[in-house]
């Protein structure tokens, strides 16, 4: 057998072992994933080192989030169907538009709240959320949207460019 093929089979076996750790939720999967990453980082083979580097960049987000999070694209579409349908019924449009992307972190739980809370909301239930703030990612997305809309406008483009130049000069 050719040596390249033997190497590729070893790589495939390691990838399968790492993939198996991703199937496990919780601390055990995290520990095994980290053990594989450390072992691969210690190898001299550049392919193993690259695998370790990729694993390190992925590790912050792999084992977080809800346990019932969508597993594939079809499940993700089913997960978004309910709020998107709600948006379509409210506005009468064929699709929900970019609003779900830009305001999603706060909009999706709000639109989907009735699924987990079948009775009507009262003031006592909503009071803890009175001081809630939008996540940073959502605020930044909405700021980018405002800038892009102003950049498309012929009448506001020059003023926007002046403001952005002034911000750039002030920050430097």
Q: What is the pLDDT of residues 22-40, one digit of tens each?
A: 776 656 677 888 888 899 9
- Mean pLDDT along residues 44-48: 91
Asked if the model's pLDDT at residue 60 lies above 80, the reply is: no
Does the structure show a pLDDT above 90 at 155? yes
Give me the pLDDT at residue 153, please.
92
Average pLDDT over residues 105-133: 79
Q: What is the radius of gyration, based on Cα positions, of the chain?
A: 24
Q: Would you give the DSSP letter of residue 72?
A: S
Nearest to 48 by CA among 92, 11, 85: 11
**What is the pTM assigned to this prediction?**
0.42
- Work out the average pLDDT over 2-7: 86
First-to-last C-alpha distance (Å) of the chain: 60
Contact 52, 33 (CB under 8 A): no
Q: Is pLDDT above 90 for 92?
A: no
Tell me which of 62-71, 107-116, 126-135 is least confident.
62-71
């Amino acid at each position: 057998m050719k040596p390249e093929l033997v190497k590729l089979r070893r790589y495939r076996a390691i990838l399968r072992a790492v993939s198996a750790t991703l199937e496990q939720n919780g601390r055990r999967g995290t520990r095994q994933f980290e053990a594989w990453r450390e072992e691969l980082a210690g190898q001299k083979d550049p392919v193993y080192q690259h695998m370790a580097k990729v694993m390190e960049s992925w590790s912050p987000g792999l084992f977080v989030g809800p346990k019932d999070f969508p597993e594939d694209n079809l499940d993700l579409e089913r997960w978004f169907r309910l709020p998107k349908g709600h948006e379509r019924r409210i506005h009468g449009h064929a699709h929900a538009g970019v609003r779900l992307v830009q305001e999603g972190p706060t909009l999706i739980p709000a639109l989907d709240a009735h699924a987990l809370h079948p009775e009507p909301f009262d003031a006592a239930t909503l009071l803890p959320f009175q001081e809630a703030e939008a996540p940073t990612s959502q605020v930044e997305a909405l700021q980018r949207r405002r800038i892009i809309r102003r950049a498309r406008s012929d009448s506001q483009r020059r003023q926007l460019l002046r403001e952005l130049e002034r911000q750039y000069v002030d920050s430097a």
